Amino acid sequence: MDEALLDRFAAGVDLPLDPEHRPGVAEALERLLALAAVVAAAAVPDEVEPAPVFEP
């Protein structure tokens, strides 16, 4: 992960990063971005509507 991108993500959520934590945070963020790409690529039919209230 690009150091500048990591800095921007951290600043965006007001997350102070200690130097020793940066590699782990970068790895976790890379995994989250990969999972987000899978979710974003999922096809959702037009007739699907969001539920007004979540009920498990």
Q: How many domains does the chain have?
A: 1
pTM assigned to the model: 0.69
Residue 53 lies in a domain: no
- Residue 38 exposure: Cα atoms within 13 Å on the Cβ side: 5
Give pLDDT tens digits for 7-53: 999 999 999 999 999 999 999 999 999 999 999 999 889 898 887 88
Residue 16 lies in a domain: yes
Domain that holds residue 29: 3-41
Cα 8 from Cα 15, distance rounded (Å): 10
Cβ density class 4-43: b for 16+ within 10 Å, e for less: eebeebbeeeeeeeeeeeeeebbeeeeeeeeeeeeeeeee
Confidence of residue 55 (pLDDT cuts 50, 70, 90): confident
Residue 9 lies in a domain: yes
Residue 51 lies in a domain: no
